[in-house]
Amino acid sequence: MLKLLGRNSSSNVQKVLWLLTELGLPFERHDYGGAFGRNKDAQYLRLNPNGLVPTIIDGEVVIWESNTILRYLANKSGPSPFYPTEPAARAYCERWMDWQLGTLNTVMTPLYIALIRCDPAARDLEAIRGLEARARANFDTLNQCLAETPFLAGGALTLADIALGIFAYRWYTLEVERGPELPRLRAWYERLQDRQAFREHVMIGLS
């Protein structure tokens, strides 16, 4: 059976849990990282030299990097509407996955750490305000790009929505200054909440 190594509070692990559940693939999850540790042990580093979570083990196949894991799982169970095969449709999906890693992640992860993981007495409020402003700009971009389609890559949920949906939950749950309501973003977020797998694996609180 496929094994998923990583704590369920990790946003990157949540992506994988969400997709595994959507696809109906059987798996075992084992706690690694955060308070559980073990991700810097020699045995784990032989699987994932970065010492981060998640890692999946599928027989003889070992894969790390969450978005690559999403692609692998979709291909393994494919063809899947979560990862379109037509070149343009796939590119529409993948560009958002890349944007999540290169743009949104660089803002939301430090903002999350500052607000949830950092001692309140040690918070840099000026830095937090700056991260909030950058995050608002990123979510405004999402709001604009949802003008013509209900999901990021078209009419149905894809890996793009899974990769970015984890941060939508954090944005709407963190105590931040979100600015004016973004109606298309809000409607997209509500569509994600219609997914049982999203509610089960992502909407579990912040820790």
| CATH number for 186 | 1.20.1050.10
Q: What is the pLDDT at residue 91?
A: 98
Q: Tell me whether residue 6 is in a domain.
A: yes
End-to-end, the C-alpha distance of the chain in Å comes to 29
Residue 82 reports pLDDT greater than 90: yes
| 37 plus 116 within the same structural domain | no
| 57 plus 117 within the same structural domain | no
Residue 145 to residue 134: CA distance in whole angstroms: 17
Residue 87 reports pLDDT greater than 90: yes
* CB 13, CB 63: distance < 8 Å: no
User: What single string gives the DSSP state of each residue in 128-167?
Assistant: HHHHHHHHHHHHHHHHHHTSS-SBTTBSS--HHHHHHHHH
Distance of CA 125 to the CA centre of its chain: 26
Residue 165 to residue 154: CA distance in whole angstroms: 15
Rounded to the nearest integer, the mean pLDDT of the chain is 97
Q: Tell me whether residue 204 is in a domain.
A: no
Confidence bin at 55 (pLDDT 50/70/90):
very high
Q: What is the pLDDT at residue 207?
A: 86
| 97 plus 56 within the same structural domain | no
- Domain coverage including residue 110: 87-199
DSSP-derived 3-state class of residue 200: helix
| 40 plus 133 within the same structural domain | no
| 68 plus 106 within the same structural domain | no
Q: Tell me whether residue 82 is in a domain.
A: no
Could you tell me whether strands 2-5 and 27-30 are parallel, antiparallel, or unpaired per DSSP bridges? parallel
- What is the mean predicted confidence (pLDDT) over 100-113? 97
Angle between helices 125-145 and 159-173 (to 10 degrees): 140
| 97 plus 194 within the same structural domain | yes
Q: Tell me whether residue 207 is in a domain.
A: no
**Closest by Cα among 169, 175, 160 to 189:** 169
Residue 33: burial class (beta carbons within 10 Å; 0-12, 13-18, 19+): buried
Q: What is the pLDDT at residue 79?
A: 86
Tokens found for residue 113: 């750490």
- Residues 28-39: pLDDT tens digits? 999 999 999 999
Residue 13 to residue 135: CA distance in whole angstroms: 22
Tokens found for residue 33: 């990282």
- What is the mean predicted confidence (pLDDT) over 134-155? 98
In this structure, how many other beta carbons lie within 10 angstroms of the beta carbon of residue 15?
25
CATH number at residue 9: 3.40.30.10
**Closest by Cα among 152, 115, 145 to 132:** 115
| 139 plus 51 within the same structural domain | no
Q: Tell me whether residue 49 is in a domain.
A: yes
